Structure 1
Amino acid sequence: MDFLGCKPVHSPMVVSSKLLHDDSPLLSDATMFRRIIGKLFYLTITRPDITYAVQQLSQFVGAPTEVHLKAVHRVLRYIKKSPGQGILFSPNPIFQLKGFSDSDWATCPKTRKSVTGYCVFLGDSLVSWKSKKQQTVSRSSSEAEYRALATTSCEIQWLLFLLGDLGIVPSSSSVLFSDSQSALAIAKNPVFHERTKHIGIDCHFVRERIQNGTLKVLYVSSSNQLADFFTKPHAPAVFNMFKSKLGIHSMYDLACGGILKQHVN
């Protein structure tokens, strides 16, 4: 497979795309599809911009179809457009963890399971991110948002343990942002109700971190919810806006910018 001469695209997925298990004929040989997905998984370590697309495509490695292969080809065409894309780590000396948590409720057309997306910053630098389908079906968007909140809280707690092992003490309490007022209300309410009984473990975990001062949960508007980048495909303009806010840049552009700056000085 040779994509050196392919036409680049501005985003890894089409906004209206909904991948299904039986949307087209099965591939006669799925070996190539599986190899590409494995390599793309490795690439997500430094390329958060393809995380959601790879998460979606990886669900079909058992029985990929022709449509799934075309979707993989689009990801490769996107990578060709920006081969030097990567994360820019800021020299900001402030050691505070800031997390963004979001979910796309009942997004899977077959199982109606939701997708959790989160990203965590150390100071101004992106250090952790994930896009993953939730293990159980959520009966409301509030439940899906709260499950995402609990998952992100676990990640922040693990990062705090890691920083502690490295001898780094955070400058202040970690902050977790969500655009769901109902999920935040559940997190801050010390009384359990019938409607939250089935997510009681998640409630206990998040509230314990809030009560001991490890974590603060705050509201953020949907337009500034960076974790939305990991829950659904976006149009190129919105996609590029999210990339910029997450600190994802082209290394070639940064290098040229530095050269030009030195030249001007």
Structure 2
Amino acid sequence: MPFSMGIWMKSNDVDAINIFKQFLDNKFKHKDLGTLKYFLGLEVARNTKGLSLCQRKYTLELLSEIGLLASKPANIPMEQFAKFSNSIGEDVPDPALYRRLIGKLLYLTLTWPNICYAVHKLSQFMAAPKVPHLQAAYRILKYLKRSPGQGLFLFAESELKLKSNYDTNWAACLDTRRSVSGFCIFLGDSLISWKSKKQHVVSRSSTKSEYRAMAIVTSEIVWLISLFKTFGLEHNQAASLYYDSKVALYTTTNPAYHERTKHIEVDCHFIREKIQAGIIKAFHVPLRHQVADFFTKALGHK
């Protein structure tokens, strides 16, 4: 059973690693492949500054399989004002092709956060894909061709502090009018968590959708802090939470509720509790500095 030891454990104690290897060797027949470099399409490179993750080989193989290896690269993954619906366009002749393609693109979001929204959007039409949906998926591939070796870099030395951005696109889905939430979380300067997801229910106001998104990212921060504790790391600083909604900022600091905010009272209490406990600290940022926009809407090249 060949494996790479980097997948199984992490330690600065070389003796402990050797003892663990010997233990596995006594129990199972295996082969140590040494330092992790490639695993299930994920390429890993190390240097003194940190760890680089990419899926270059997987990306090029996918481009070759679809027949777009010689195509002209696109500068953005999705047209900025593109509208997608279950009722727009003709049916795709081979829906299975579309489903396989979206599945492979979902796997590429492991190291390509900037295609997360586009892939999430197209994955909503798996049951009955239309031709515009397939064409949009091909555009994502052309965008990947522009720089197939792009990926994530995790810094070896970085401040142990969580910083997050969140945003929401109110009533963005044409079919259900549900809002889209998105967030990204950095540990120091390293991006470690992100998500683009349609909310479960319809929000009757942008404030309601903003607070639902804020509660989601707050829950993720709380989980990450508990995860750090299992690794023996103490996150003693308040996590920074950046958002561009002044209404959300006001509701966060205002202890009074009225008829129009009763429906988001639980989320408000949850967020305020974490702020008062010093777990998070909220900041308002201008829209032009909102990084989480990548996860809620298709942006233009500029």
Give the Cα separation in 1 of the matches to 2:160 and 2:255. 30
- The offset of 1:128, in angstroms, is 0.6
Alpha-carbon contact 1:120-1:126 (below 8 Å) kept: yes
Tell me which of 216, 220, 229 is aligned to 1:155: 220
* Counterpart-to-counterpart distance in 1, 2:97 and 2:273: 47
Written as runs of structure 1 = structure 2, the 5 A alignment for 1:202-221 is: 202-221=267-286
Q: Structure 2 matches for 1:20-59, cutoff 5 A?
A: 20-59=85-124
- 1:92–1:124 CA contact under 8 A, matched in 2: no
Residue identity opposite 1:159 in structure 2: L
Determine if contact 1:117/1:230 at 8 Å carries over to the other structure.
yes
Using CA pairs below 8 Å that are at least 6 residues apart, which structure has the higher relative contact order? 1
State the Cα distance separating 1:91 from its structure 2 match: 3.6
Q: Residue type of the partner of 1:210? A: I
How many equivalent pairs are there?
A: 237
- Taking the aligned partners of 2:248 and 2:138, their CA distance within structure 1 comes to 37
1:133 corresponding residue in structure 2: 198
- Listed as ranges, the matches of 1:1-265 within 5 Å are 1-237=66-302
Aligned to 1:243: none
* Larger-gyration structure (1/2): 2
- Secondary structure of the residue that 1:143 maps to in structure 2? helix
Quote how far apart the aligned CAs of 1:87 are: 1.3
Name the CA distance, whole Å, in 2 between partners of 1:199 and 1:157.
20
Alpha-carbon distance in structure 2 between the residues aligned to 1:187 and 1:37: 38
Give the CA deviation at 1:194.
Answer: 1.8
Q: Distance in 2 between matches of 1:203 and 1:185?
A: 11
Task: Structure 2 unaligned segments of length 5 or more: list them.
Answer: 1-65
How far has the Cα of 1:223 moved from its partner? 0.8
Q: Distance in 2 between matches of 1:28 and 1:93?
A: 50
User: Using the alignment, how far apart are the partners of 2:290 and 2:155 within structure 1?
Assistant: 20
Gap regions ≥5 residues in structure 1? 238-265
1:94–1:171 CA contact under 8 A, matched in 2: no
Cα distance in 1, alignment partners of residues 77 and 178 from structure 2? 22
What TM-score results when the alignment is normalised by the length of structure 1?
0.87
Identity of aligned residues (%): 48
Q: Hey, what's the Cα distance between the residues in 2 that align with 1:180 and 1:125?
A: 25
Letter in 2 for 1:86: G
What root-mean-square deviation, in Å, do the aligned CA atoms of Structure 1 and Structure 2 show? 1.1
